[in-house]
Structure formats: structure tokens, C-alpha cells
Amino acid sequence: MVSKPSVATPSSAVRLPAYVQIKQHVVEQIQSGVWKEGDAIPTEEALSRSFAVSRMTVNRALRELSDEQIIERRQGSGSYVAQQKYQATLVEIRNIADEIAARGHTHRSELHKLERVNAGVALGQAFGMGPKATLFHSLVVHCENGMPIQLEDRYVNPKVAPDYLEQDFTTQTPNAYLMRVAPLQGVRFAIEACAPTSTVRDMLRMAEAEPCLVLRRQTLSQGQVATVAAMWHPASRYQFTGSF
């Protein structure tokens, strides 16, 4: 039997669509240890009754959780808590300050922007929000021994990090803060070579014809998209490594 979820309160129902409430409930049960890896979660019918919504709404929530690798859906059997695979991706989610310290070098951050912005169409779609929704935006250059090696252009969902604009990102990295307040549930990323704009080139102190390696990453937390970021690296000063 599924007890009525604590997230389905009148106040939260006003703020969040029903499918998001269902996603958050599932995530909370997993994070709290009530449901463990491999455990079956309640059926669509049970969740539909518990939240007083249609099975179509429940299906959307479970489908998105499956896409985010939080649950695994097995045809004819049900849905199960998935083994969390984000830690095994090619690009490990690490604090760049820790990477630099591990090399015995000194990290320094230069904060260029910390602001509240409207999502717009493209970012709104990436976050599952409307174009007028509010996002937090930071622009930080990370230096190793005084030399810029990464420009971090990050957008943040205020629902998972409401105090983001109050942080001092010259003394801590956005990654360090977010890992505390919005534990990772999944990640999507892509790496490409790009010609930088003149602004990016100037901020990274790059030569005129030098390309960038760009890591584009979307992180998931609390059953929703937490951040969308582009990490720009001078190709002559940075490389991605990994092992399987």
C-alpha cells in the first residue's frame, strides 16, 4: 500500500505540476533509503490513486525518471530503482579546485557575473520551464597558477539552489556549493571543439586562432534539471581523460 506522499500538499501543488511532485516523491524515497537499488517502486495505478491524478501524468513522471537513469522500467514487470550510473561517466563530476590542488598547483577564481535572468526559449526547454521563468547565472574563470584554464558559464535552477546568488564564488567554486545543496542524481554531457568568441578568448587569454574544448553538461537533482553549463577550455592547456 502506498501512503499519501508528504509532497502532495496544497501549497506545493500550487507551485509544482503533479508530474514533478511525483518525481520528487520518488527521488525522496530513494535518497532517504526507503527504496534501495533494485527495489520495485509502486505501480502507475498505485501512484495515480495516491496523487489523485491520471495514469498519463504518472507515466510522464516515471518516463522522465527513467530517462534520467533514476529508475529502470521493465516491460511487463514494473519500475525499479536503478543503479546510479552518473559516477561512471567518462567525465567525472569533480571540483576543478580539487583537480588543481591534486596536481600541487594553486587555484584561483575570477567572478565575472552572478545574476538573475529570464530563461528564454532554449534554456526554458532545457530546464522544463517557460521562457519567462527565472534562472540564476554565473560566469567564472578558473585559473591554475595564475593561468586561466576554464571559463564556467553556468545556469542554475533556483528551486534546487535558492541561495546561489548569495555565495562568494571567489572563495568556493559553484561545483563545491552545488554538490552540498543539490546532490547529483544524473548527468548528461557532450564534448566538442569550438572556435571561441572574442569575449571568451580574451577571458581565457588565448591566441587568435586557438580552438576551445567545450564540455556542455546538464545535471539532475531532486527529480529535476538542476544546472545547464558550458565549460570552455583552451585546447593547448587542457585535456579530458577517463578510464573504463
Give the pLDDT of residue 6: 46
Question: pLDDT band at residue 15, thresholds of 50, 70 and 90?
Answer: low
Instruction: Taking residues 221-239, report their average pLDDT.
Output: 89
Closest CA to 22 of 66, 80, 61: 61
Question: pLDDT band at residue 14, thresholds of 50, 70 and 90?
Answer: very low
166, pLDDT greater than 90: yes
Instruction: Taking residues 45-73, report their average pLDDT.
Output: 91
Question: pLDDT band at residue 82, thresholds of 50, 70 and 90?
Answer: confident
Q: What is the DSSP code (8-state) at residue 2?
A: P
Closest CA to 57 of 33, 25, 89: 25
List the alpha helices (DSSP H) in 82-147: 96-102, 120-127
226, pLDDT greater than 70: yes
| pTM (two decimals) | 0.65
Residue with cell 525518471: 65
| % of residues, the chain, pLDDT over 90 | 59
Which residues partner with 214 through β-bridges? 192, 232
193, pLDDT greater than 70: yes
Domains and CATH numbers, the chain: 10-81 (1.10.10.10), 86-234 (3.40.1410.10)
How long is the chain? 244
Q: Where is 13: in which H helix or E strand?
A: helix 10-15
Q: What is the mean pLDDT of the chain?
A: 86
3-state secondary structure 56-111: HHHHHHHHHHHHCCCEEEECCCEEEECCCCHHHCCCCCCCHHHHHHHCCCCEEEEE
239, pLDDT greater than 50: yes
Give the pLDDT of residue 1: 45
